Every structure is written in C-alpha cells, then in structure tokens.
Amino acid sequence: MRTAVSRNGHGRVPACGIAVMAKASIAGHSKTRLVPPLTFEEAAQCNTAFLRDVGDNMLAASAQASIAAYMAFGPPHARSFFEQNLPSEIGLIDAWCPNFGDCLACAMAKLFEHGHACAAVLNSDSPTLPTSLLVETAEMLAPPGNHIVIGPADDGGYYLLGAKTMHPRLFQDIAWSSEHVARQTLERAAELGLSVHILPTWYDVDDADSLSRLRQEPAGPITDLQPYPAPVTRACLQRLDIGAQLPVAAQ
C-alpha cells in the first residue's frame, strides 16, 4: 500500500504539503455538472484526466520549491483508483467527511500531522493552473508569521487555501458551492487576525462554459501567467471531440 507521507529525494519531509481535494472517477458521481454536454462516462474520464494533470503539476512545482504532493481522496474505498492512476510520488490522504468544510479541515490537519511546516488544500477543477502559483504559495508560506495564502476563483470560490498552522474557523459557517466562499473565508481570516496573501484569480472547470474556456485557452502566457499545459486533459478533450457541443467561451 502506498505510504501516506510524501517525501523528497533525500527522505526529508518538504516544508509545504499540498493536497488536492479529489474524488474517484465514477460515472454519475464525478464532474456531473459537465453533463450535458458530456455524458456521465465522459465526465468521469475528464475527472481522471484532470487529476492526472493536477498531480503532475504539483510534481512540477516540487522541482522548484519545497513541496510535497498529495491527493485527499474519497470515497474511502477508492484508494486503489488513485494508486492505479497517479504517480507513486503523490501521497494519499483519506479525507472523506459529510461536510465539505470538514473535508478541507481534515486534509489540512493531516498535512500538519505528517510534519509539514505549512499546508495547502487545492481544487481538482483547474488542470491548467499555472505551476508558478503553487511555487508562490510555498514561498509565501515559508517565512515565519501568522498568515494564509488564498487563490480566488472567478466564480467567487477559491482554488487554493494555505496556512502556517491549523485554523478550523477558516472552514466554519461558509456557504460552500456559492459565490460567497472566498469573501466569507477572508472574513474568517480577519476574525482570526491573519494577514493574507492573495494569489491571482484563476478559474474552475465545472460547467459547459468553463469547459469551453479550457478547450479554447491559448497555449502561451495569459498576461504574466503561463498556464500548465495539461496534456492529459487536452488529449482527453480531443478524443471526446466535443467542440461542436460547447458554447463559445466568453472573452
């Protein structure tokens, strides 16, 4: 069975643990908001592709900063799916709770239990997230102090949240899956007296419009950010040949 602790090539625990909040690819239970234009089976295939690219993106970041990559996965019986579909360098954390806020808090707490000096939770819906933003997260969490890092999504949520220590309040009284998530999280940070480093905004791929945006995203830099190339995802979209079914992405 794969170890739960991700270490670097020298056997040391990297400073920053980053865990993707990941669901196994089960038709009818993963990426269902992409149906239509996708079928449930196609949405599950996209989920697997997203996880592969997000995992590889974390490993790319770990070559530039002291980062350990994890999947905080569910359902609990799905460990074998992640062992079969992801590189062995990615650690696995069982973080399946009834409430999404509890899942996030559980994943972050386990990262600290594994000995990381700082921890971050990351979504599985942004396969082209620039690697530089993961590196920036680790670098901004490295100095001493009571601060957090947040990566806002353009739908009002966030794609990443990192901290120097465990703050359960960051995950309490949040209207999950709404446009208020990032704002409410910043309010919790203010209550706790935490300083905040805000990363550039990115986007989640969770509906037909954002899937179209992903498909049409240019390969080169967007402003000063270089999207991760996400080769597995792009190969999956090409194989599914769904371009004609998608709306034109908003500019």
Number of domains in the chain: 1
Smallest Cα–Cα separation from 116: which of 169, 67, 61, 54? 67
pLDDT at 9: 52
Rounded distance between C-alpha atoms, residue 26 and residue 30, angstroms: 6
In a domain, 113, yes or no: yes
* Domain region containing 127: 16-239
Provide the Cα torsion 215, 218, 220, 224; round to 10°.
-100
In a domain, 251, yes or no: no
Smallest Cα–Cα separation from 60: which of 210, 224, 198, 231? 231
In a domain, 8, yes or no: no
Which residue carries 């000063």 as its tokens? 224
pLDDT at 10: 53
Confidence of residue 12 (pLDDT cuts 50, 70, 90): confident
Query: Is the pLDDT at 68 greater than 70, yes or no?
Result: yes
Which residue carries 């949405």 as its tokens? 43
Query: Is the pLDDT at 251 greater than 90, yes or no?
Result: no
What residues does 74 pair with on adjacent strands?
A: 23
Residues 6+ apart with CB under 8 A from 142: 15, 16, 66, 117, 118
pLDDT at 31: 94
Strand 147-152 relative to strand 158-163, pairing: antiparallel
Average pLDDT of span 64-90: 96
In a domain, 94, yes or no: yes
In a domain, 9, yes or no: no
Smallest Cα–Cα separation from 18: which of 142, 139, 122, 103? 122
**Mean predicted lDDT score pLDDT of the chain:** 91
Query: Is the pLDDT at 129 greater than 50, yes or no?
Result: yes
CATH number at residue 93: 3.90.550.10
In a domain, 4, yes or no: no
Rounded distance between C-alpha atoms, residue 233 and residue 54, angstroms: 10
- Six-digit token string for 139: 């670098």
pLDDT at 224: 76
In a domain, 142, yes or no: yes
- Six-digit token string for 239: 């194989």
* Planar angle of CA 60, 62, 67, nearest 5 degrees: 145
Average pLDDT of span 194-200: 98
3-state secondary structure of 240: helix
Query: Is the pLDDT at 249 greater than 50, yes or no?
Result: no
Flag the least confident range among 111-125, 193-207, 233-247. 233-247
In a domain, 63, yes or no: yes
Which residue carries 């460990």 as its tokens? 79
- Six-digit token string for 143: 């100095």
pLDDT at 247: 47
CA distances (Å), 146 to each of 58, 62, 87, 101, 193, in order? Answer: 24, 24, 33, 21, 8
Average pLDDT of span 16-34: 96
pLDDT at 215: 87
- Six-digit token string for 213: 């945006």
Query: Is the pLDDT at 191 greater than 90, yes or no?
Result: yes
Q: Is 156 exposed, middle or buried (0-12, 13-18, 19+ CB in 10 A)?
A: middle
